[in-house]
Amino acid sequence: MGDTHLNFTDVSRNPSSPTAQQSSGTDGSHHGRKYQPNANEKKTPWMQRPGNKRLVIGVSVVVAIIIIILIIVLPAVLTKKSGSDAAGGSTSQTTPQPYISKCQSTMSKAFTKTVKLPSVNDPRPKVKMAPVPERIGNNVLVKRAYLVEFASDSTDKNHARTITRLLRLSNAIDPSAVTIRRSIQTSLFSGVSFSIDQDHPIEAVENIEGAVAIHPIYTYSHPQPVKTFDYNELYNTGSDTINSYNLTGVRHIHDIYKNFGAGVKVAVIDTGVYYLHPALGGCFGPGCKVEFGYDLVGNSYTDDNPVFMPDADPLDPCPDGSHGTHVAGIIAANSTGITDISFSSYVPFIGVAPQATLGAYRVFGCSSSAPSDAITEAIYRAYNDGADVINLSLGGPGPYSGSAEGLAIQRVTDAGGTDPFRLSFMTPKGDNSFLAYVVVAAGNSGSGGFQTTGDIANEPSSLSACSVDNKYNLLMDSFVIIGPNNTKILYQPGTNYGGWRSITNSTIVVNDPTRSNSNDGCNGPSVIIMGAVVLFQYQDSDECDTETRCNKASVQGAIGCLIYNTNNIAGSSNIPSGSISLSDGLSIISTVAANTSAMYTFTDRLEPVTISTGGTVSDFSSIGPSGDLFLKPRLCGIGGRVYSTISPIAAATVNFTRAYAVYSGTSMASPYLAGTLALFLASLGNPAPNTVSGVASNGVCRPSFSMAMNIFQSTAQTVNIYGSSVLSSTLQQGAGLVDIRRTIAATTMLSPSELSLNDSVRIASSYTVKVFNIGTTAASYVVTHGGAALGTPKNGNSDQLLLVPSYSANYANVTIVPSTFVLQPEQSLNITLRFTPPTGLNTTLLPFYSGFIYVSNQNNGDVVHLPYAGVVGDYSSARIIVRTASNTAVTGVASQSGVYISDTQQATLNATLGIRLTLVAAWSTRLFIAEAISVNDTSLPGQNQSLGILKDEAYNTFVYISDISRNTAVETQSFSDSYQLLWYGSVCAAKSIKNCTTATASRLPQGQYRLRFSALKHFGNISNPNDYDVYRSPSFLLTY
């Protein structure tokens, strides 16, 4: 197959080029001969000399012909030569450039036509804002605040003034009641966020002239790692061990190709970065590791005082967590050569891409949440500042795409117009447009079961990151003592003075080697301990504590105090102290009895130990799919127990001795993937190419987001369920654990790189996947299928989903045509897949089946794969509203005593005191409505007009809410177990929710009523009464 991509050579800068030599001589003359006029020649104007005019015309024609030939022929010749040179191979260990980076290649053109992603509605006509929930898990709605987008071609550039003026004219809203929060003006977005401190109808905002979209503003809760550990020091280990670089191919890229991410810019949108940490460069600005960024909120911003004070310094000065600094270190830290004891690390720790340049965008205050308009602005700012990769280790529950932050992600990943879900109203940026890759943490709510991935992680254009546990763990606060013959004993430091702060060699004196006395050491040491470490036994019946014993030992000259047969001691306030196990204590007694001069080495280093869950999906990692059954998450990074930098301020808060810590979470997996993306881009050049498509001077282009994700997903490593030979569900691991070595060296790619099969009622009859040979030689392929775990989300005794799904080895059958074929370099072939879901299952439980399609290159042994997932049963039949559950919240109406009312006893509810309503949604829903109805009303929503939509007084809104996230059986990091509503008897009886305002609400008269909760079923039609899951409460007497 011919190579149709263009590869122009700049001949003017290549004097050795045959074309350059023919076009000019060494002196700039034609054909190398210099014209020398005769000194006696009459100075007749050159154009008036005989024949010269005809010569000019002739030469012009010839030059024009040559130019045409050069334009048409030369690129093909040069491209062919370039391809020949590449095929010849190089003995140098330079990073291979993936073929997908070639501009305008046949493969890239074919790829663009095959990608099929969820369509994104054009938001331009959306000048209506549907009612939204006041709280989605931990994300809280900012009341009466909006982000309004204007058309990019709007001639009015002072949108803030326009908003204030129009609100005053249309609804008499006082300008002093309007506060402009943010003004976002970029090449991809033009808009303003603002709040209105005055009651107003939503139409006041919807009717703003020139508005094309309106978005609510939510606050994202402050990011918290799942677990926090002080790594302090490690004994005889390195970066490859502590962050599993061997497992993910990072070490291979570092060692073999010397690729450390140089020339790539990675933006971190988080809590800010403590860039004064030497491992992060120690400075901010041009020439520093943290080179660009912005503080969008300011140091004084809190939830109670949400006043923005932005500035150009994104430093994180806060004592809590240092989340953004840890994230930044995973990407690009370099602790080698640091001598300052507060910042040095015994291990020469480096990040995944330590030569990458960082950008820091602070969207959280010290103890605050982050507003979504600040996050949205940060995404656009990072893009405008030239970030190649953008990392967001944040998020919250949200089953559907379409938020302002999500749209920002879509736009920056598709700024070149190469992806099929491009928004139609956006201004095309042209062939040479720049795009960024965006990585988002999937969430830490895996303990809640299926459908717990985060909101922006569910965006189709984000790389949602799941977490795999590190291969190594630490017995935290268990430091190393090295005994004779290199035996290792682990001790826990005392809480008073702590443990040993440097390496110390000493003998150990056993105070009671016979173990015959109780209260060992309570009256002080009974032997000479001067200059040695003393060992005491502890028993629960002892009459003194460890502090008493160790302090008395200090007075008598001991340089350390060990207590065996216990843990978590206070110890001495003056000398190092530690606790050890009974078995280790007896071992020391035995060794010292044989040799009183036995020498022990006491250290401040920790010993990593292999953990059984290493290399498997972390138990906290959120599980897909999205609310519309799209496969999420997409790819895993190492996120369980990851070592990285923190600020010394945060370290001091938790008494860490050095500014490093081990955190766990998809917040750690996300920057791990961002680092591998930096290595990938660095393999294309330094700096990485900006051109997305069209013509680049060196023929190397940046792959589109879809293309890059395809090659990352298809080359990932599949992982098993912990303790099992069965592969984890693709709704847990996505395509698997990243393997950047295989990604960069890939010779085969698949499009699309994942399949969301929907449910077994709506599954397509067949699916087409295109296989690309992106290698340099012909390849014979074999395509096979392998199943992954089937996960059953619930049991028959409860409407609520299980916290831990039931997994089994029930697989689909897949017919593959053709299953064997040969492809030449740059050639592609469509294969057809026909899926038969697993049989013999209870379809009412809606089990999720999954697996992989494997494509094996028989010539070089490379295997790439494509993950898929689907549902057995009819997803639209799922019961959304939880009526019955085992030991978890259910939907109901509570009396003033807090007890749910029932049909067995007449309840009287006093609305003046407030009536508490509980909604529990087992699954997400596009719309939830709560209405008052008469006792005998059995109609469905929309069949008969109800008595009115309930007004929730807790949030001063009406319970007609779109895009409700599911509840989990117990609270997780992001998901709540229920939605709590407070009702004082007020309803809106208008025919349309758009007409419901505070002014139109009225109290129901005293009397008998029921409440109707309605949730739109999956794939349901909002106008079809039969497409709702309906719960009617028991009847009650409403009083005031």
Continuous segment of H or E residues that includes residue 453? none
Q: CA 414, CA 265: separation in Å to the nearest integer?
A: 18
CA distances from 897 to 432, 916, 919, 950, 980 (A): 66, 10, 18, 21, 16
Q: Is 47 exposed, middle or buried (0-12, 13-18, 19+ CB in 10 A)?
A: exposed
Structure tokens at 61: 């024609």
Q: CA 546, CA 568: separation in Å to the nearest integer?
A: 10
Q: CA 171, CA 418: separation in Å to the nearest integer?
A: 43
Q: CA 442, CA 398: separation in Å to the nearest integer?
A: 11
For tokens 């956006």, what's the residue?
A: 426
Continuous segment of H or E residues that includes residue 731? helix 730-733
Q: CA 290, CA 333: separation in Å to the nearest integer?
A: 10
Of 754, 752, 746, the closest CA to residue 788 belongs to: 754
Q: Is 371 exposed, middle or buried (0-12, 13-18, 19+ CB in 10 A)?
A: buried
Q: CA 252, CA 1012: separation in Å to the nearest integer?
A: 60
Integer Rg of the chain from CA: 34
Q: CA 557, CA 559: separation in Å to the nearest integer?
A: 6
**What percentage of the chain's residues is helix, strand, coil (to nearest 5)?**
20, 30, 50
Q: CA 513, CA 589: separation in Å to the nearest integer?
A: 6
Whether the Cβ atoms of residue 325 and residue 277 lie closer than 8 Å to each other: yes
Structure tokens at 934: 């008469």
CA distances from 520 to 300, 350, 517, 565, 723 (A): 54, 46, 6, 12, 44
Q: CA 921, CA 713: separation in Å to the nearest integer?
A: 32
Q: CA 369, CA 760: separation in Å to the nearest integer?
A: 41
Continuous segment of H or E residues that includes residue 982? strand 979-988
Name the 3-class secondary structure at 377.
helix
In sequence order, the β-bridge partners of residue 267 are 359, 390
Q: Residue 331 phi/psi, 5° resolution?
A: -75, -50
DSSP state of 745: T
What sign for the dihedral angle of Cα 726, 729, 735, 736? negative
Identity of the residue numbered 569: I
Q: Residue 514 phi/psi, 5° resolution?
A: -85, -15
Of 420, 357, 394, the closest CA to residue 681 belongs to: 357
Continuous segment of H or E residues that includes residue 136? strand 135-136
Tally of helices (H runs) and strands (E runs) in the chain: 18, 46
CA distances from 936 to 99, 434, 611, 814, 950 (A): 69, 62, 61, 51, 18
DSSP state of 765: S
Q: Which residues contact 397 (CB under 8 A, 6 or more apart)?
A: 136, 137, 138, 139, 443, 445, 452, 454, 455, 965, 966, 974, 975
Residues belonging to the active site: 270, 323, 667
Q: Which residues contact 260 (CB under 8 A, 6 or more apart)?
A: 254, 350, 353, 354, 355, 356, 679, 682
Whether the Cβ atoms of residue 201 and residue 997 lie closer than 8 Å to each other: yes
Q: CA 697, CA 11: separation in Å to the nearest integer?
A: 11
Structure tokens at 686: 């330094």
